[in-house]
A and B are shown apart, each in its own frame.
Chain A
């Protein structure tokens, strides 16, 4: 179907499972050691090569802004590491939230991969973090968040900066779940053409396209894909790891994942601990529709309840104000503005 296919370029992608990081959002950062141990062990046994474990907003994300962690993330990292025989543990780091101090601490607790994430226009704030990551012997992966907001050429420039800092791979991250398949394809393709390192794609399912976009990325030659068991991630969740495995297997591109073991892990380990099943419901679709950071979902619902405002109205307004990754504090601000506006309208 694609030129990549005809040219035989498609190869089995490496799959990173981020249930224990992106899944921290719907879990409201309440993962326990026992849960992390069980999930990490099941993923390891099913052949998942990289497992990301961190607060949902990355190292040092535990805060009022994003939600406090129930268990310190360093303990969760160590717990996951202790049960994995083959899988390597990754941590997420957002410069501006976490610093190289927490990165070094995470190395001591057993991470071997770090994913360094910036807003897709701000790659140049990550130079120091890549440098320290490489000096610490880590595999360093760049994450260009909210990548739907800029065209492929701009993303390629930003990705090249990360490459120059020492990145081993750069991801197109559809944080808002706002991309359509051709958006994912064009962005991955632009990076593949511009970079000599690997390229990854991280999907959100807000428009029901997490799998479709991952497949479009595959057509464009993507080297790494992300998944979560049962799709447990922010907003409507991510591409389900077990589903990715099954589909890759049918495409003849299974990178060595045990499809049945992943299906069992999703069904019997993840499903029972999930507070709810992320789906593209009314509010989640609004995230993708308005192009808003997926983690805003629960915060917007909370503010909506408190100030009697439709969460969708809040999310659409945040999209209009061009809020970017990590700006959860604007939700309260928007809710207060809208509540005041409603009051004024009511009094007229």
Chain B
């Protein structure tokens, strides 16, 4: 694809997430051209790797991004606190922000659920790894039958839970639960996160318990869930149901009800981070997918203007 048909993008944050995203954008650029990796720690491994790959690298953070007017899309993989500042600066400069922090200045986006509805947003938020992994499945059920309650348990390897998650673990549970309601369309959502220190590290695991609001067709739910598995696999190849959906009746605060249980495993692509970090991989893969859609839209708008 010729250069002029690509949109210049930058990554803010040269930590694990930013660096993994860099590899994904290089491997599968689509309509994007990675113009810059900007961090704030000059000696970071991410910046060194960018340079060795021939990608411009800067330790000047957001300043470096704003200096290049051709950069239209900015992936923010810093921290919630930093993104609150970045969000304003990027908006004022007319750049589109794809936020991988928990700051949530813009609406949540989970690609197979609502990517198409966010066409004209200037700031979108990638929720949490737990949300990226589980919201598609709650949505898969709620598009077939209304969901009264959805509860998810995400288990990640200790070594793949970074300082951001550790210092504010409540944000994970709250944000993920909210995304189950807002995007998953569960009337009530609950999220639990567990860090497992086993060595060798475990792959990211997610258990999703769903209580539909009324009677439902098991086969329709099964089909919808399997379709969704394939949709997510388009951008996260290591996303799969570990066992077929389980249907059983249980006692709940709303009486005895049928429950659907889905057991998921997410293996990372191993681009920069190890394969067990499916939790980080699903964030960067989803962000790349959102970036690609935004890039295509910007190119279309240019055509119209031309």
Contact = CB atoms under 8 A, between A and B. Distances in A.
Contacts of A336: 243, 246, 263
A63 B208 CA distance: 12
**Most A CB within 10 A of own CB, among B166, B169, B190, B250:** B169
Contacts of B273: none
B261 interface: yes
Contacts of A100: 170
A198 to B, nearest CB: 25
B161 to A, nearest CB: 8
A327 B263 CA distance: 13
A101 to B, nearest CB: 8
B168 A65 contact: no
A125 B253 contact: no
Contacts of A330: 155, 205
Nearest to A69: B253
B166 to A, nearest CB: 5
A68 B211 CA distance: 13
A96 B173 contact: yes
Contacts of A346: none
Contacts of B248: 306
Interface string A326-340: 110110110011001
A332 B245 CA distance: 11
Which of A149, A336, A337 has its CB near the most chain B CB atoms (within 10 A)?
A336
A65 B195 contact: no
A96 B167 contact: no
B173 A332 contact: no
Interface residues of A, number: 33
B195 A125 contact: yes
Contacts of A323: 196
Contacts of B242: 333
B194 A128 contact: no
Interface size class of B (residues with CB under 8 A): 35 or more
Q: Secondary structure of the A side of the interface?
A: mixed
A122 B158 contact: yes
Contact of B209 (A65, A124, A325, A340): A65
A128 B197 contact: no
A308 B183 CA distance: 38
Contact of B169 (A95, A149, A337): A95
A324 B155 CA distance: 10
Contacts of A333: 205, 207, 242-243, 263
B167 A122 contact: no
A15 to B, nearest CB: 30
Given A68-B252, A96-B173, A332-B263, A121 B197 contact: yes
Nearest to A325: B194
B195 A96 contact: yes
B173 A128 contact: no
Among B197, B198, B263, find the residue whose CB has the most chain A CB atoms closer than 10 A: B197
- Central interface residue in A100, A119, A327, by most chain B CB within 10 Å: A327
Contacts of A101: 170, 174
B194 A63 contact: no
B173 A63 contact: no
Nearest to B265: A333
Interface string B183-206: 000000010111111100010010
Contact of B263 (A122, A124, A329): A329
B197 A63 contact: no
A329 B170 contact: no
Contacts of B158: 121-122
B120 interface: no
Nearest to A123: B166
Nearest to B244: A336
B151 interface: yes
A97 interface: yes
B43 interface: no
A127 interface: yes
A163 B95 CA distance: 45
A96 B190 CA distance: 11
B259 interface: yes
Contacts of A95: 169-170
Given A63-B192, A329-B263, A128 B168 contact: yes
Given A322-B198, A324-B197, A65 B151 contact: yes
Given A95-B170, A125-B166, 17 more contacts: A63-B151, A63-B190, A64-B151, A65-B192, A96-B169, A119-B197, A121-B158, A121-B197, A122-B195, A128-B168, A149-B197, A306-B248, A321-B198, A332-B263, A333-B263, A336-B246, A336-B263
Interface of A: 63-65, 68, 95-97, 99-101, 119, 121-122, 124-125, 127-128, 149, 306, 321-327, 329-330, 332-333, 336-337, 340
Interface of B: 151, 153, 155, 158, 166-170, 172-174, 190, 192-198, 202, 205, 207, 209, 211, 242-243, 246, 248, 250-253, 259, 261, 263
The 6 closest A-B pairs by CB, nearest first: A322-B198, A329-B207, A99-B170, A121-B197, A64-B209, A336-B243
19 contacts: A64-B209, A64-B252, A65-B209, A119-B194, A119-B196, A122-B166, A124-B167, A128-B167, A128-B168, A128-B169, A149-B197, A321-B202, A324-B197, A327-B153, A332-B246, A332-B263, A333-B205, A333-B207, A336-B243
